[in-house]
Chain A
Amino acid sequence: AQKITQTQPGMFVQEKEAVTLDCTYDTSDPSYGLFWYKQPSSGEMIFLIYQGSYDQQNATEGRYSLNFQKARKSANLVISASQLGDSAMYFCAMREDSEAGSYQLTFGKGTKLSVIP
C-alpha cells in the first residue's frame, strides 16, 4: 500500500484565491511527522511546513497551513492568497519516528499547481 497518496496530479487556482492540496497517509507508527515541500522547475525541494503526529494544533507558516485530520489520516496543505510564484510541484512526505533508524522521508507523487493570472 502507498504510504503517501496525493490524488491530484494537477490543480489550477486563480491568483489571490486559496487552494487546498490533498494528502493522505498510511502508517501504524504512533509517532510520525508530516511535511510539505515545494519543487519549482529549478529542482530544489523547498521546505514549507511540518506537522508532528502529537501536535494538538494545525501548523501554520505564513500563507501555508496544514489541515491535519489524524483520524482520517489526512494532511492537506492550504495555500491562501495564491501568487504566480506558487506555481510548482508540491510534495507531501512522511517520516516515521518509532523505529530507530534514519528518519527518512517517504514522498507522494506530487501535485502540480498552476496559478492563473
Chain B
Amino acid sequence: DTGVSQDPRHKITKRGQNVTFRCDPISEHNRLYWYRQTLGQGPEFLTYFQNEAQLEKSRLLSDRFSAERPKGSFSTLEIQRTEQGDSAMYLCASSFSTTGASAEAFFGQGTRLTVV
C-alpha cells in the first residue's frame, strides 16, 4: 500500500489523558499536513511540515497539541490533557513539491478520537 497511513484508526480516551497519533506519508512526499474535522464540518488546517521543519501552525493548535516529524518521514500528533472538545477526526495529508504549490494532497483514512 503506497498511500498515506494513519494509526490508530479509532481512539477512545478519558478526559485528561494524553494521546498520540501517527501518520506515515507517501514516501517521496516532502510536505505533510494535519487537519481536524468535527461532525458536520469540513477539515480545518492544524499544522504543516516541509521535510522535518514545522513551518506553520493554526490558531486551532493550542499549547496542548504538539506535532513532530523527525527525519522528515513519519509524523506524530500528540494531544495532552485531552478535553471533550478534542473529539474529532484527525486527518493527515501529504504532497510533493520542489518549488511553489503542488497539485493535490493525498489524505489518510484519519484517526477518530472520542474523549469521554
Contacts of B35 in A (CB 8 A): 105
User: Per-position contact with A for B29-43: 1 when CB-CB < 8 Å, else 0?
Assistant: 001010100001111
Contacts of B91 in A (CB 8 A): 43, 45
Measured in the bound complex, the distance between the Cα atoms of B31 and A93 in whole Å is: 18
Contacts of A93 in B (CB 8 A): 42
Q: Does A37 contact B (CB under 8 A)?
A: yes
Kindly count the residue-residue contacts between A and B in the assembled complex, taking CB atoms under 8 Å apart. 66
User: Per-position contact with B for A65-101: 1 when CB-CB < 8 Å, else 0?
Assistant: 0000000000000000000000000010101010001
Partner of A103, one of B43, B101, B106: B101
Q: Does B63 contact A (CB under 8 A)?
A: no
Partner of B42, one of A42, A46, A95, A109: A109
B99 to chain A, nearest CB (A): 11
Q: Does A57 contact B (CB under 8 A)?
A: no
| In the complex with contacts A33-B101, A45-B43, A50-B103, A102-B55 CB distance below 8 A | yes
Contacts of B103 in A (CB 8 A): 33, 50
Measured in the bound complex, the distance between the Cα atoms of B107 and A46 in whole Å is: 7
Measured in the bound complex, the distance between the Cα atoms of B94 and A105 in whole Å is: 12
B92 to chain A, nearest CB (A): 10
> Could you tell me if B104 and A43 are in contact, using CB atoms closer than 8 angstroms?
no
**Smallest CB-CB A-B distances: 6 pairs:** A107-B42, A45-B107, A102-B48, A104-B45, A44-B109, A102-B56
26 of the cross-chain contacts (CB-CB < 8 Å) are A33-B101, A42-B109, A43-B91, A43-B110, A44-B107, A45-B43, A45-B91, A47-B105, A50-B103, A91-B43, A93-B42, A95-B101, A97-B101, A101-B55, A102-B31, A102-B33, A102-B48, A102-B55, A103-B102, A104-B33, A104-B45, A105-B35, A105-B93, A105-B105, A108-B42, A109-B41
Known: A37-B107, A97-B100, A103-B102. 10 other contacts (CB 8 A): A43-B89, A43-B91, A44-B108, A44-B109, A102-B55, A103-B31, A103-B101, A104-B48, A105-B43, A109-B41
